[in-house]
Amino acid sequence: MLSRAGFPEPQWHKQLQLGRPLGGTQPDCFFPGDDEADKGVCVYLDGLSAHIHGNPATQVRDRQIREHLRAEHYEVIEIAANQLTDRGAMSQHFFRLARVLMSKEEARRIRDSAGWFSPPEQNNQNAVSKGIEYIEIVFDCATEKFSREHFINVMKHLLGPEVESLNISIRHGSTIVKMEGPAPLLVLALEKLQTPSAISLVFGVCGIVVRITVGKGGQTQTVPLPKITAASKIRIVFFFANATDQIKIEWDEEYREIQDKLRATPQFERFLLDPRLAARPEDLIKALTETQPEVVHFGGHGGYSGIALKRSTNVSASVSGEDLSNVFRLFNTRVVVLNACESMLQANAILPHVDCAIGMRSSIRDDAARDFAAAFYFDLGFGGSVQHAFESARHVLRLKKSGQENVPELLVRQGVDAASLLL
């Protein structure tokens, strides 16, 4: 419904850190704001799972969290599950959302239009509005090669913990996944699966989706698949620099190995690689603003004083952990790889603003750094989670007898599950 109404695609289940005693929260969808006075819009869908939203203790905590968010200049919109099929209620919610994200004119247009709520028959909303009992997804791959665990991880990424309320089965003899459960949760799952970023993730991790159908009783209806575009791809920005006052590092070899490894994976087409060479400190804001990347990779020298980039005079310029923290707090980067010596101070500094940060506990040899980075992205290219990719990359260092498998360290922000974090 959001995409049909013309809203920008939100961040699904974005982890927001609130500090003690509240910890963190994951709105069902989040639209980031522009500044401290407008931090963004949090949308919560309540009542999709009785064992989560029906718990009195959980309800009290939810109220406390949402009051805190409002006090901290977040807009909070709460949608009850039974309102998802109520055009009047959804019109009011979307009107309010559009007033914040768009303009008064757009808000009125959305409120007064029925197109986003009741689109033509081929857009499947007629079936949804009457309630659905199951969703079937047909994959173009053999059953023995299909990973049920990977599929559940993807759905957990899209739906959060409420995925536990779904019964997910695989039909023998073919790769047809059937999801059954509460109708509002199935409606939400269908909405997510109709976004380009979600279907791109399913394609990459589980296999090519041939068809999605919804059913109720003996009736079924085919759902059109969204087109995967550049906007739904994973952007990785690389920063490399060699200053004249430091020992030269072969960053071109590091980038080549990463690119070659990714090219050999089934998900290569999902990745957009953007190398920034001879990078200067002022290039950070420019590059992150232009690309809004999911992953940022620093390759080169590091140390306790910071990550080494270069000045216009070709001498080194250290970017401290505090400076990096101030940069990443402005963006929605999910993973930062500090593939540089002694970079744990910087990794810890930026962790409050990203989901995961990888740093180096001590010095690391150039060949080990290249091997680690190439193996990390290779695993991501095969649909691995950030945790799995990190462990796989460390294991490569162990197998190569580098003696440096314990140098890389993965830091995970509180409330984030790196084992289920898929890009």
Residues 197-211 have pLDDT tens digits of 666 667 656 666 778
> Domain 233-420, what architecture?
3-Layer(aba) Sandwich (3.40)
Q: Is the confidence at residue 89, as pLDDT, over 60?
A: yes
* Per-residue buried b or exposed e for 214-237, using 16+ beta carbons within 10 Å of the residue's own CB: bbeeeeebebebbebeeebbbbbb
225 or 340, which is more confident:
340
pLDDT band at 129 (very low <50, low <70, confident <90, very high): very low
Please answer whether residues 358 and 369 qualify as being in contact, where contact means their C-beta atoms are separated by less than 8 angstroms.
no
Grade residue 49 by pLDDT with cuts at 50, 70 and 90.
low
pLDDT band at residue 188 using 50, 70 and 90 as cut-offs: confident
Q: What is the pLDDT of residues 385-423, one digit of tens each?
A: 899 999 989 999 998 888 989 999 999 998 888 887 877
Pairing status of strand 316-319 against strand 307-310: antiparallel
Four-point Cα dihedral 172, 175, 179, 185, nearest 10: 170
**pLDDT of the residue at 211:** 80
Which is nearest to 97 in space by CA: 86, 110, 88, 85? 110
pLDDT at 159 over 70: yes
Residue 76: pLDDT band (50, 70, 90) is very high
Confidence label for 347 from pLDDT (cuts 50, 70 and 90): very high
The predicted structure's pLDDT at residue 2: 84
pLDDT of residue 173: 58
| pLDDT for residue 19 is more than 60 | yes
Residue 231 is predicted with a pLDDT of 47
Q: Which two tokens stand for residue 183?
A: 């109708």
The whole-chain average pLDDT of the chain stands at 81
CB-CB contact of 232 with 200 (8 Å): yes
Quote the CA–CA distance of 391 and 257 in Å, as a whole number.
19
Which residue has better confidence, 38 or 336?
Answer: 336
**Three-point CA angle 88, 90, 92, nearest 5°:** 75
Query: Residue 127 has what pLDDT?
Result: 43
274 contacts 237 by C-beta, under 8 angstroms: yes
Element (H, E) at 53: helix 50-53
Which residues make up the CATH 3.40.50.1460 domain(s) of the chain? 233-420
Which segments of the chain belong to CATH 3.30.70.2470? Answer: 125-223
Between 258 and 114, whose confidence is greater? 258
Instruction: Average the pLDDT over each of 55-69, 260-274, 313-327 and give the range with the smallest value.
Output: 55-69
Exposed (0-12), middle (13-18) or buried (19+): which is 123, by Cβ within 10 Å?
middle
Banded model confidence at residue 121, pLDDT cuts 50, 70, 90: very low
Fold of 125-223: Alpha-Beta Plaits (3.30.70)
The answer to whether the CB of 70 falls within 8 A of the CB of 16 is no
Tally of residues, the chain: 423
Higher-pLDDT residue of 175, 231: 175
> How far is it, in rounded angstroms, from Cα 304 to Cα 315?
18
